A and B are shown apart, each in its own frame.
Chain A
Amino acid sequence: MERLPSLGKKGTIYAAALFFTCFSAFPFFWMLITAFKRDHDLFNPENNPFLFNEPATLEHLRLLFEQTLFMKYVVNTLVVGGAVVLITLVIAIPAAYSLARLAGRWGESLGIGIFLTYLVPPTLLFIPLSRIISMFNLGESLWSLILVYPTFTIPFCTWLLMGFFKSIPRDLEEQALIDGCTRIGAMVKVVLPLSTSGLLTVVVFAFTLSMQEFIYALAFISVSAHKTVSIGVPTELVRGDVFRWGPLMAAALISSVPVAVVYSLFLDRFIAGLTMGAIK
């Protein structure tokens, strides 16, 4: 581990940590303040915007939950996320197992090939996909997202799981095979129970990646009641010239923090997946 110069070292580190923390967290701090401020306080350019010049209020939260479709967006997001997680698991587990154990030498190249499809950006595909969606009459429906999101969760999760499966000693399965298990039996009874943390990681990523997705949702869905949080909040709570900043900031904060907490816990594995092979 490298150390910074010792001259004023502690001070330098604290100052830098403080600076970066403020930079990174400021928008969220701003959401928090705005969510509890009265409109009268909020919309006065003379007021110090960093302080509560009038007592705090829960009015924006009440508005958000009672007069907007926010809860509907949350439910839609959970439905899409849950379905995407299921599809991803069903497809990625066998694929990853096959690549890690059965496919031999071409498994490695195929694995890298699958990972590369994760890098094909939505912006290259949203135009043809929007046509395909409307050909199947899935436009404006949550099904369009459930169908399309696995295109980026499957590659990434297959790649992650492949790494997990490879780290499990082969001997354990071979023992099961000798004892009369089939390949699939050995996978289900021996490998999967040992990969619980890998499977959990995959569930978390399939869910957070689909919850954060913005471009496909924006391209496929324009009916308010079918929107997810990531497009519903930015497009529906900002209408015309009327910005309901209070409820808007409350919605953004409420939906980001839980995702951020879970994601942070698993971030190291996300990075390990992205850089697998490059850092040893």
Chain B
Amino acid sequence: MERVERTPAFSLGYVWERERFLAAVMIAPAALYTIALVGFPFVLAILYSLSDATTGDPTVRFVGLRTYGFLLQDPVFLKALQNTFVFTFASQILVLVLAKILALVLMEDFPGRRLVRFLILLPWTAPISLSVIGWLWIFDSVFSPLDWLARSLGLLGRPEALLGPEQNLYWLGRPFLAMASVVLVQTWRILPLATVILLAGLTAIPRDILDAAQVDGAGFWRRLFQVIMPLLLPVMSIAFLFGFVFTFTDMTVVYVLTRGGPINSTQVLASWAFFKGIEAGDLAQGAAIAFFLFPALAGLSALVLLLARRAEVS
């Protein structure tokens, strides 16, 4: 408004009206696009989850919460729900620990730093479905280089070997190892993102705070835990939140590596919703499964809003 007062060439009321109008016109396409292709499908998903619609018969006939009730009794669904939390928290805790170390390393100056940075960012910058194909070949049941390494170190393939007498570990063929594999690949994928977010936070810590701590006689670990960590907390929570969203709701790693197998031991909500809703054509069940992702996401959005507002105030 002050802007208008400073430019007396315009009639105040006229410009105010016109700018409000122009603002609305310019934002309308984006708003309409979002309403039509995010808002409307979202409502449709709720309707599907309360109906018995299938791709063969997509009419929405309400059956109430029947589908949700059915899901809560379905062992595969419960397994997928549990796996989603294991998959998300195991990978994100690993990511935070490793990202903290990696960010401290990348703060240092050393020859070849730019190349190292490019290579370390690769898991995030390369298209995920293609890089996971690389992992699929690394976890191959017969030609896995990891197995070859274990065999040549004598850890595998002999009667008294530590990892067993068989020639291969069958990474993706055994429930525990399959889960460990998808967690490893997801950690690998999110690590660069978290690292770069933490790096941005680390560089923002004022030098003199650290100098003052050092002058006061605080050693490396004391400075790390009592000065840096508290200052870094908001950034770490941001890194965790994004890692959480991109892991909790994703199915790419699971789909490409295991398709949820063996026997649903790596099935997550997102992949199970895909198999039910798209491949089997059960719209109601698919939508209901996907909806179990929503409470966690809504909570997260509230947190992001809160953080954003707090940053605005300060």
Q: Which residues of A contact B (CB under 8 A)?
A: 1-5, 10, 13-14, 16-17, 20-21, 23-28, 30-31, 34, 42-43, 45, 48-50, 90-92, 94-95, 97-99, 102-104, 107-108, 110, 112, 114, 116-117, 119-132, 147-148, 150-151, 154-155, 158, 170, 174, 177-178, 183-184, 208, 211-212, 214-215, 218-219, 229-231, 233-234, 238, 243, 245, 248-249, 251-252, 255-257, 259-261, 263-264, 267-268, 271-272, 274-275, 277-280
Contacts and interface: CB of A to CB of B under 8 A. Distances in A.
27 contacts: A1-B210, A2-B220, A4-B105, A31-B137, A94-B26, A98-B26, A116-B301, A121-B249, A122-B249, A123-B249, A127-B278, A131-B283, A132-B41, A147-B37, A158-B30, A229-B130, A233-B133, A234-B256, A257-B126, A261-B118, A261-B125, A264-B117, A268-B200, A271-B196, A277-B312, A278-B234, A279-B238
Interface in B172-203: 188, 191-193, 196-197, 200-203
Given A117-B38, A128-B45, 15 more contacts: A16-B105, A24-B122, A24-B191, A103-B27, A123-B293, A128-B48, A129-B41, A214-B127, A229-B130, A230-B127, A231-B129, A256-B130, A271-B193, A272-B200, A280-B314
| Chain B interface, DSSP helix/strand/loop, else mixed | helix
B108 A264 contact: no
Interface stretch (B72-80, B85-93, B142-150, B158-166): B142-150
A91 B118 CA distance: 32
B129 A130 contact: no
Interface string B128-156: 11111111011000110100100010000
A132 B283 CA distance: 12
Contacts of A170: 3
A143 B273 CA distance: 24
A50 B252 contact: no
A202 B33 CA distance: 18
Give the size category of B's interface with A: 35 or more
Nearest to A16: B105
A30 B191 contact: no
Contact of B283 (A25, A124, A127, A272): A127
A125 B38 contact: yes
B270 interface: yes
| Chain A interface, DSSP helix/strand/loop, else mixed | helix
Chain A CB count within 10 A is highest, among B118, B294, B300, for B118
B189 to A, nearest CB: 10
B96 interface: no
B37 A121 contact: no
Given A92-B30, A131-B58, A28 B273 contact: no
Interface of B: 3, 6-7, 9, 19-20, 22-24, 26-27, 29-31, 33-34, 37-38, 40-42, 44-45, 48, 55, 58, 98, 101-102, 104-108, 110, 116-135, 137-138, 142-143, 145, 148, 152, 167, 188, 191-193, 196-197, 200-205, 207, 210, 220, 223-224, 228, 234-235, 238, 242, 245, 249-252, 255-256, 269-270, 273-274, 277-278, 283, 286-287, 290-291, 293-294, 297, 300-301, 304-305, 307-308, 311-312, 314
A21 to B, nearest CB: 5
Contacts of B274: 123, 126, 215, 218-219
A280 B119 contact: no
Nearest to A274: B242
Nearest to A107: B23
Contact of B200 (A17, A124, A257, A279): A279
A45 B110 contact: no
A14 B238 CA distance: 28
A25 B45 contact: no
Given A98-B27, A154-B30, A49 B201 contact: no
B27 A45 contact: no
Nearest to A24: B120
Contacts of B127: 211-212, 214, 229-230, 255-256, 259
Chain A CB count within 10 A is highest, among B110, B137, B148, B235, for B137
A162 to B, nearest CB: 11
Contacts of B255: 214, 218
Contacts of A279: 200-201, 204, 234-235, 238
Contacts of B311: 277-278, 280
A183 B40 CA distance: 32
Contact of B307 (A4, A251, A277): A277
